[in-house]
A and B are shown apart, each in its own frame.
Chain A
Amino acid sequence: MPPMRVSGKIPVTVLSGFLGSGKTSLLERALRQGALRNTAVIVNEFGKIGLDHHLLSRVEERTVLLGGGCVCCSTREDLVAALLELLHRAAHDGRPDRVVIETTGLADPSPIWFTVLRHPVLQHHFDVGRIIVTVDAVNGLLHLERHAESVKQAAVADLIVLTKTDIASEASIRELESRLRAINPAAEMMRSRPDDPDAAGIFAAERPYRSPSRPAPEPPVPGHASPHDGGTRSLSVRFDRPLDWNAFGLWLSMLLHARGVDILRVKGHLDLGGDGPVLLNGVQHIIHPPEHLDEWPNDERCSKIVFIMKGIEPQQVMDSLSAFQHVLGAEPERLASAEYAI
């Protein structure tokens, strides 16, 4: 799926990952490679990046909960200040090509989306890019078993980068990949090494980055409980006919009202009967403004939606979509595990 890019806006990439999973090393390596020269970087801790990057700024995480709001619909005041400062500087020094926000190990990416997409000024200058999550190939399984935050980070990712693959065994890497696939079959996955010559490409990629030498492994059968998946379930749905946008918007807004906190990610392309698809992309309660493409990227011309959920069984969503089919104008069909790529 191409990144959500409304022309002229600066994409904001979120770099997340559990404590010690190699976020900073990956970013540091990428910044040393020239391709990210005009990238603004926002980090929580200055000292860790041993690099004098001219567009580096540091923030103290300050989250402001809105009245009665949930945690995902909260504004990161620190980011508002940092991004406004960036805009101010851009007026003199030129605009950065992109912004990378490195979160703390436990931070939740949804408030970053909320901040960028809903702030009255920032929403006109910035757009959300991909969510990149690093997972430590040595300790990743342990983190997934012990820490719910680690599972959630993997669940919301667009791209999962396995780090420290040079010191982990092939068998354990494969086991970790299979576990991550079960949690988030829609994410792309790649392995990175300390001598990766194209670390910058991960952040600079206009299109989702896919390592040419390593095709994504076949996902295991999703929807089946694994003991350490933190209750995450995924579902991929296709519709037999073009959808009515008004009806779909009604259903999805109702679902997000009732279960938004547990809909960790929703992604898809919708066939609304036009020349091209409409891209859908959301994290919890926050849905990116739908973007219209002029033409279909391949021959597959149908609506396809992937849900990554916590504590909701895929069958519950299928039952709801089936009951809504007269309203939606199309019948849902649950797709097999291999058809998760959006």
Chain B
Amino acid sequence: MCVLCSGFIVQEHWSDARTRAGEDASTVTIGGAESRERRRDRWMRMKLANVILQIYGLKLDDWNGSKYILRDVKGMTEIVQDWGELWPAAQKLARRPVDPLDPDFLARLKASGGHN
């Protein structure tokens, strides 16, 4: 349960899994250093996602540390919970297939040098 938006999260997306030793999905995070760590992690993830999303003319922002907001240049938005929801939403806003094997996309990613 998210206390901020009262959203009930039944399923954690696999990409959100904590991969450090001794942590699992039941690890509870309340304030302190772990909370800062979690926020920094989230910020890093968002930064990486934006390297990819900018190629499709999209931008991801944090929303209250609990969800993300995906926008296109015209201001259309989609709220996404995790990377499982991100790509279908990106495809909807970009109005074209989002595919990491697409040669045109890869050429533009290489040209950007992995920066945004």
Give the B-binding residues of A (Cβ under 8 A): 6, 118, 120, 123, 244-247, 249-255, 257-259, 272, 274-276, 278, 287-290, 292, 294, 312, 316-317, 319-320, 323-327
- Residue among A252, A275, A327 with max Cβ neighbours from chain B (10 Å): A327
* A257-B21 in contact (CB<8A): no
Contact A289 B25 (CB under 8 A): yes
Of A275, A287, A292, which contacts B14 at CB under 8 A?
Answer: A287
A324 & B45 in contact (Cβ 8 Å cutoff): no
A288 near B14 (CB under 8 angstroms)? yes
**Contact assessment for B21 and A255 in the assembled complex, using a CB-CB cutoff below 8 Å:** no
B64 at interface by CB-CB < 8 Å:
no
B19:A245 contact, CB within 8 angstroms? yes
On whether the beta carbons of A320 and B83 are closer than 8 Å, the reply is: no
Partner of A118, one of B11, B44, B83, B106: B11
Q: How far is the CA of A312 from the CA of B91 in the complex (A)?
A: 21
B101 contact from A250, A255, A289, Cβ within 8 A: A255
What B residues does A276 contact at CB under 8 A?
21
| B residues less than 8 Å from A294 (CB atoms) | 21
Q: Counting CB contacts under 8 A, is B94 at the interface?
A: no
Which of B1-46 touch A at CB < 8 Å? 10-15, 17, 19-25, 41, 44-45
Is the pair B52, A120 in contact by a Cβ cutoff of 8 Å?
no
B44's closest neighbor in chain A, by CB?
A246
A327 close to B101 (CB less than 8 A)? no
- Chain B contacts for A274, CB-based, 8 A: 19-21
Check B100–A255 contact: CB distance below 8 A: yes
Residue of A nearest to B45 (CB): A246
Q: Could you pull out 14 A-B pairs where Cβ atoms are within 8 angstroms?
A: A244-B48, A246-B15, A249-B45, A250-B15, A250-B45, A254-B99, A258-B97, A288-B14, A290-B14, A312-B101, A323-B106, A324-B100, A327-B52, A327-B114
Query: Which of A6, A118, A250 makes the CB contact (< 8 A) with B52?
Result: A250
CA gap between A247 and B44 in the complex, in Å: 9
Decide: B52 and A292 in contact? CB cutoff 8 A: no
Residue of B nearest to A281 (CB): B14
Across the interface, do A259 and B99 meet the contact criterion of CB distance under 8 Å? yes
With contacts A250-B45, A250-B49 taken as known, whether A289 is within 8 angstroms of B14 at the C-beta atoms is: yes
Query: What is the CB-to-nearest-CB distance from A323 to chain B, in angstroms, rounded to a whole number?
Result: 4
Q: Are A252 and B98 in contact (CB under 8 A)?
A: no
Given contacts A249-B45, A274-B19, A324-B100, 11 further A-B contacts (CB under 8 A): A6-B24, A246-B15, A246-B44, A249-B83, A250-B15, A250-B49, A254-B99, A274-B21, A276-B21, A289-B17, A319-B106
Residue of B21, B44, B101 most packed against chain A (CB within 10 A): B101
Give 1 or 0 for each of B75-92: 1 = CB within 8 Å of chain A CB.
000000001101110010
Compute how far the CA of A278 lies from the CA of B24 in the bound complex, rounded to whole angstroms: 12
Which 3 A-B pairs give the minimum distances between C-beta atoms? A326-B114, A249-B15, A257-B87
In the docked arrangement, what's the CA distance between A90 and B11, Å? 25
B107 cross-chain contacts in A, Cβ below 8 A: 323
User: A278 near B14 (CB under 8 angstroms)?
Assistant: no
Question: Whole-angstrom distance between the alpha carbons of A249 and B21 in the complex?
Answer: 18
| Contacts A120-B10, A253-B87, A288-B14 given; does A327 touch B51 at CB 8 Å | yes
CA distance A29 to B24 in the complex (A): 38
**Given A258-B101, A289-B17, A290-B14 in contact, is the A250-B48 Cβ separation under 8 Å?**
yes
Closest A residue to B49 by beta carbon equals A250
> In the bound complex, what is the Cα–Cα distance between A252 and B48 (angstroms)?
13
Name the CB-closest residue of B to A257. Answer: B87
Bound CA span A196–B96, Å:
55
Q: Give the shortest distance, in Å, between A180 (CB) and chain B (any CB).
A: 26
Q: Are A272 and B19 in contact (CB under 8 A)?
A: yes
Given A246-B41, A250-B83, A320 contacting B100 (CB threshold 8 A): yes
